[in-house]
Copies of this chain bind each other. A is one copy, B any other.
Amino acid sequence: MDFIKTPTKGMRDLLPNDMELREYVLSLMNDVYQKFGFELIQTPVVEHIENLTSKQGGENEKLIFKILKRGEKLKQGNVIDVINEDFDTFVDSGLRYDLTVPLARFYANNNSSLATPFRAFQKGNVYRAERSQKGRFREFMQCDLDILGEKTNLAEIELICAVTEFLKALHFENFTIRLNDRRILMKMAEYVKFPLKDIDSVLISLDKLDKIGKDGVKEELLSLGFLESQIDEYLQLVMQDTSSLEEYCKTFHMEEDVVNNLKEIMLATQNITSAHLVFDPTLVRGMGYYTGPIFEISVEDLPFAIGGGGRYDHMIEKFAHFSVPACGFSVGFERLLLLLEERGFTIPKKDEKVAYIFSSDEKKNEVLKIANQEREKNKIVKVLYRSKNFKFQKESLEKEGYQVLEY
């Protein structure tokens, strides 16, 4: 077999410049989140196939990189399964497609050693065998914040404040945070008497409102077989024009505590972050596991969200066999990096770089000694033999930011 020098499809080699920016952003994130008492944890990228295919992952479960069993266990696999194109008997694990399923497993496994409430910070690669397209990778980093064991909106407030603080540290401004509550979405759909089992597909259509417009959503719902009168009533309800959260929710008799909870979150975060908080009844967020408030953050005048999250009070119990309220917020790390690159973001204050060039072996030990003395002064120092094409050598080093000194 011949060697292949490109990375596997959809994955990337990260070069020094890429890594420098990534490491800078991660270390900033680390500093900010730590100040909020979040603690870094880590789970393996390899997860039990049972946990990955538990219906918690939605569409992502179709994109799993599956790992073959090994040794004798592999040989027990069934030939009939291969003929039927069912390979699951040969598989015992897979690469995680998000950090939420592993977090739930982690908490179930380790909660007795963790603080209550537990403020978790995860940064790690996840894997999805998606069709290749620009800006989408099959290995990419996710950075998740979660608070487990906090049933009050203190969780939502602190999560939103921490993420806003982090984005401020990257010099982003004018934050807009859109909020909704999964229970409001459910209530509206129930109010117009969509069958409970169909609400998920109604919400999937509603989620496309900003892309396909009101008419597009209506068309999609019609094609799903809902009654036109019901759809019209629903869309009127969703798109009622009032800036007051209370007034809006009164129409379909939303429970007061849900409304007050959202109001509290908006008030508290507005106070602290100076972000622009808006109630957005069309905010859906894909994952079905959300149970309460959901939110997205966008910066300046960019049309897309740079992060989002919400409350998912019933997910952990599926792993843990005990119930734990939970709320999470995740920043789209790869999207954030792309954005910083597009804006020509430069990393502040770098250490001084010096390259010592020498041309004879006799000078080597002397140069090495000086180099190490300079390193003790926190300079970045390279030592190099003078190359035949010195002009090119010097230019290349200067391009890398090195001051070139000949010896």
Shortest distance between the CB of A81 and any CB in chain B (Å): 9
Given B154, B272, B369, which contacts A271 in the complex, CB threshold below 8 Å? B369
Determine the chain B residues whose CB is within 8 A of the CB of A119 once the complex forms. 382
Asked whether B365 lies within 8 Å of A36 as measured between CB atoms, the reply is no
Given A364-B154, A368-B157, CB of A19 within 8 Å of CB of B42: yes
Most buried by B among A6, A16, A68, A93: A16
Asked whether A105 lies within 8 Å of B19 as measured between CB atoms, the reply is no
Asked whether B400 lies within 8 Å of A115 as measured between CB atoms, the reply is yes
Given B41, B379, B381, which contacts A13 in the complex, CB threshold below 8 Å? B41
Indicate if A278 sits at the interface (CB-CB under 8 A).
Answer: no
Contact with B along A182-204 (1 / 0, CB 8 A): 00000000000000000000000
Given B35, B50, B152, B267, which contacts A385 in the complex, CB threshold below 8 Å? B152
Complexed CA–CA distance, A27 and B105 (Å) = 28
Indicate if A77 sits at the interface (CB-CB under 8 A).
Answer: yes
Indicate if A39 sits at the interface (CB-CB under 8 A).
Answer: yes
The residue in chain B whose Cβ has the minimal distance to the Cβ of A116 is B396
Pick from A82-90, A173-181, A224-232, A327-335 the stretch touching chain B.
A82-90
Asked whether B268 lies within 8 Å of A37 as measured between CB atoms, the reply is no
Asked whether B14 lies within 8 Å of A42 as measured between CB atoms, the reply is yes
The residue in chain B whose Cβ has the minimal distance to the Cβ of A35 is B375
Determine the chain B residues whose CB is within 8 A of the CB of A39 once the complex forms. 16, 19-20
Asked whether A318 lies within 8 Å of B82 as measured between CB atoms, the reply is no
Within 8 A of B (CB), among A35-51: 35-37, 39-48, 50-51
Asked whether A77 lies within 8 Å of B82 as measured between CB atoms, the reply is yes
Complexed CA–CA distance, A50 and B116 (Å) = 47
Determine the chain B residues whose CB is within 8 A of the CB of A243 once the complex forms. none
The residue in chain B whose Cβ has the minimal distance to the Cβ of A118 is B16
Asked whether A3 lies within 8 Å of B68 as measured between CB atoms, the reply is no
Asked whether A35 lies within 8 Å of B378 as measured between CB atoms, the reply is yes
Indicate if A319 sits at the interface (CB-CB under 8 A).
Answer: yes
Determine the chain B residues whose CB is within 8 A of the CB of A105 once the complex forms. 3-5, 7
Determine the chain B residues whose CB is within 8 A of the CB of A85 once the complex forms. 74-75
Asked whether A114 lies within 8 Å of B15 as measured between CB atoms, the reply is yes
Shortest distance between the CB of A369 and any CB in chain B (Å): 6
A interface bracket (residues with beta carbon within 8 Å of B): 35 or more
Asked whether B46 lies within 8 Å of A11 as measured between CB atoms, the reply is yes
The residue in chain B whose Cβ has the minimal distance to the Cβ of A4 is B48
Shortest distance between the CB of A207 and any CB in chain B (Å): 26
Within 8 A of B (CB), among A265-280: 267-268, 271-272
Complexed CA–CA distance, A102 and B383 (Å) = 26
Complexed CA–CA distance, A5 and B316 (Å) = 11
Asked whether A67 lies within 8 Å of B70 as measured between CB atoms, the reply is no
Complexed CA–CA distance, A157 and B369 (Å) = 11
Shortest distance between the CB of A175 and any CB in chain B (Å): 15
Most buried by B among A30, A40, A44: A44
Determine the chain B residues whose CB is within 8 A of the CB of A158 once the complex forms. 368, 383
Shortest distance between the CB of A97 and any CB in chain B (Å): 13
Contact with B along A366-392 (1 / 0, CB 8 A): 001100100100111111110000000
Asked whether B3 lies within 8 Å of A106 as measured between CB atoms, the reply is no
Asked whether A3 lies within 8 Å of B54 as measured between CB atoms, the reply is yes
Name 26 interchain pairs, CB-CB below 8 A, sorted by A: A3-B50, A3-B54, A3-B105, A4-B48, A4-B50, A7-B105, A7-B109, A8-B44, A8-B47, A8-B92, A12-B44, A13-B106, A13-B110, A14-B43, A19-B39, A19-B41, A23-B30, A34-B380, A35-B351, A35-B379, A65-B68, A79-B83, A115-B397, A154-B364, A271-B369, A272-B372
